[in-house]
Amino acid sequence: MALANKETTNVVQRRGTLAARKARLPLVSLVLGGLAFVAIMTAIPMAFLYAQTDVVQGPAQRIFYFHVPIASVGMFAFVVMAFTSIMYLWKRDERWDWAARASAEIGTVFITLTLITGSIWGRTTWGTWWSWDPKLTASLVLWFMYISYLMVRSYMGRTSASANAGAVIAIIGVFDVPIIYEAVNLWRGLHPAAQVGVPGALPSDVVLTLMVALAGFALLYSFLMLQLYQFQKLQTFAQRLRATVEYDM
Amino acid sequence: MSANRVFFEQVWAILAKDVRYELRSKQTWTSMGMFALLVLVIFNFAFDLRVENKAAVAPGALWVAFIFASLLGLGRTIAAEREQGSMDRLLLCPVDRKAIYLAKLLGNLLFISVVEVVALPVYAALFDVPLLTGKLVPIVVLGTFGITIIGTLFATLAAATRARELLLPILVFPLIVPVVIAAVRATEALLVPTANEPPWLGLIIAFDLIFLSVSTLTFQYVIEE
């Protein structure tokens, strides 16, 4: 019995040091980070100097170049989280769970920023910080789902039960968001509709600036994804090592 | 054919056990019922109901009372199983996880419905609204079903954590937003009939069907450790 314990301890420790050695970030993350930096640094002057001022909304419309990409990435992160959660339940490989949790953490930040930038814009254009519009309500509910996901994950620790619970929340959530959107849409609607891709709706400089910003934030997401995935991995290994030490004592 | 029969026998056995337990202890039913009535009374004061705002406020008050009472009961029934270790024994039995979920779901639906049957006449009297018609029955049943589908799944999930009473509403409230909107609107439409009302009942049915399937399939993951 004691021998068996010693052996498992050794195995876990060896695995831990191996992981620590492998834990260095791949070069691709540096490249992604650099590209994200360049794209966002290009998008900022483009949004303020290159893109024309909106005739109706005035300079307040410029927040759109950050609000729309951040919102898109925040929602995309939820889809990634749900997809990786399904893969986790299917394949039973904890790497999928690390990816899901990493995506949830980034998505929470992005949706929080979406709500803040949207409120600032709403204040100047609608004259109110908040309205119960479908897009706003769906974003807010998405934000609540992200927060409750992270709360459950942090309450339950790094166990497989926690990973299962998180995966179920993500899957239920990804089915619920479109229904919530539809329900609030039937209830009331006010948010401006998407005009990208509608021919002649947006001037080309506006579309170009938006695309650069979108690319920048997408790159930022993939950069952060790699960082946080690595972070999740290290935390899991660190906790396992700590558990073996506590067991020996 | 016989596999189906075994499945429904399992559902029935677990459901009968839960109902017998509740009939003997009467804990959940009475506390949920009292809670629902108290919410209605508090709303009466909080909104200072008058004839002109009654139609706008009364359906909301009814559903808030139902939802709060449901969550109270949902948290209680699953937590009791965990505390006494009977859930572990149930999991040791060769029972399909889907059967456990369906039995728990039907049990919770039954408990909440009993509370609602008691609360509705009191509500109609306190708020003096002509709501006790046959048209209210499908709205209440389907709406409660939607809340219970999500609630049973997440009550089981939350019962495994340390902060279960705190976590349950945080998990459930955002997810049942469509049911809340649709149920309140449909109830309001009974009081003040309006033309071109969206198909609220259809929305609730769609919600119920989608999440009944998703929850039945994912329940096994929240219950196993």
* CA-based radius of gyration for chain A: 22
Percent of all residues in chain B with a pLDDT value above 70, rounded to a whole number: 97
What is the residue-wise DSSP string for A1-12?
Answer: -HHHHHHHHHHH
Is A137 at the interface with chain B, CB within 8 A?
A: yes
The tens digit of pLDDT for each residue in B34-92 reads: 888 898 888 888 877 776 777 778 888 889 999 999 998 888 878 777 777 788 888 88
Q: Which residue has the higher pLDDT, A203 or A112?
A: A112
Q: Is the pLDDT of residue A240 over 70?
A: yes
One-letter amino acid at B21 equals Y
Percent of all residues in chain B with a pLDDT value above 90, rounded to a whole number: 32
Query: What pLDDT tens digit does each residue of chain B (225 aa) get?
Result: 578 888 888 899 889 988 888 888 877 788 888 888 898 888 888 877 776 777 778 888 889 999 999 998 888 878 777 777 788 888 888 888 899 999 999 999 999 999 999 888 888 888 888 777 788 899 999 999 999 999 999 998 888 777 777 889 999 999 999 999 999 989 888 887 776 777 889 999 999 999 999 999 999 998 876
List Cβ<8 Å contacts ≥24 apart for A240-249: A240/A12, A240/A15, A240/A16, A241/A12, A241/A13, A241/A16, A244/A8, A244/A9, A244/A12, A244/A13, A247/A5, A247/A9, A248/A9
* Mean pLDDT value across chain A: 84
Judge whether B153 and B218 are in contact, CB under 8 Å.
yes
A165 contacts in chain B (CB < 8 Å): 157, 160-161, 221-222
A147 contacts in chain B (CB < 8 Å): 170
Within 8 A by CB and 6+ apart from B13, the residues are B103
pLDDT, residue B208, reads 95
Return d(Cα B18, Cα B35) in angstroms, integer. Answer: 21
Q: Tell me which of A76-85, A184-193, A203-212, B199-208 is least confident.
A: A184-193
pLDDT, residue A198, reads 62
Determine, for residues B171 and A186 on separate chains, whether the beta-carbon distance falls below 8 Å: no
| Interface test with chain B among A132, A142, A174, A187, by most B beta carbons within 10 Å | A187
Determine, for residues A180 and B150 on separate chains, whether the beta-carbon distance falls below 8 Å: no
Exposure b/e, A156-188, CB count within 10 A at least 16 = b: bebeebbbbbbbbbbbbbbbbbebbbbbbbbbe
pLDDT (mean) for A29-47: 89
The tens digit of pLDDT for each residue in A54-96 reads: 777 777 788 889 999 999 999 999 999 999 999 999 999 889 9
pLDDT, residue B81, reads 79
Is A156 at the interface with chain B, CB within 8 A?
A: yes
For residue B195, give the 3-state DSSP assignment. coil
Is A214 at the interface with chain B, CB within 8 A?
A: no
pLDDT, residue A197, reads 59
Determine, for residues A145 and B175 on separate chains, whether the beta-carbon distance falls below 8 Å: yes
Tokens representing residue B144 in the block: 């409660």
pLDDT tier for residue A2 given thresholds of 50, 70 and 90? very low
